[in-house]
Amino acid sequence: MPGAVSLLAWGRLIDAGARARHKARAGLKAAGLPPPEWYDILQLLGRHGAQRPRDIQHKLGIEQYTLSRLLARMDQAGLVAMQPCTVDRRGQITALTAQGEACRAAMWPTYAAAIRSAIEARLDPDERVQLAVMLEKIA
């Protein structure tokens, strides 16, 4: 059984993450923008280029069935393009489109405001560094 302090830390980590996600989701919805999961996928593709869905799943921790639905919706919206994989013809590659990049840019100010509210408004710069270091150890 984990110790009491570990259980407390776990609960606070889960709660803080849920609250931050809720704030981001509410802000994006109020602005008429897609949910945070879409931003995360667009950001991943923007930073790392086209990816296989299984790689997106692994990097973002999204269940396969959930990711399949998200990518299908994002493809229909023109934000990503699903292309056959040249290495494995059975697989697909997901690529960011110009429309997806524009959507990601439109989402960023709202997403950034949620980050500022959840972290920067509550922690001084040294505490933010400490938090980042501690989270890296458990990520």
Given this model, what pLDDT does residue 26 score? 95
The CATH number covering residue 125 comes to 1.10.10.10
The answer to whether residues 94 and 81 touch, using CB atoms and an 8 Å cutoff, is: yes
Residues above pLDDT 90, as percent of the chain: 90
Q: Domain residues for 123?
A: 4-138
| DSSP, residue by residue, 94-125 | EEE-HHHHHHHHHHHHHHHHHHIIIIITTS-H
| 85-137 residue pLDDT tens | 887 777 899 999 999 999 999 999 999 999 999 999 999 999 999 999 999 99
Residues above pLDDT 70, as percent of the chain: 100
Given this model, what pLDDT does residue 74 score? 97
| 62-85 residue pLDDT tens | 999 999 999 999 999 999 999 988
- The count of structural domains within the chain is 1
Q: How far apart are CA 36 and CA 104, in angstroms?
A: 10
| 9-23 residue pLDDT tens | 999 999 999 999 999
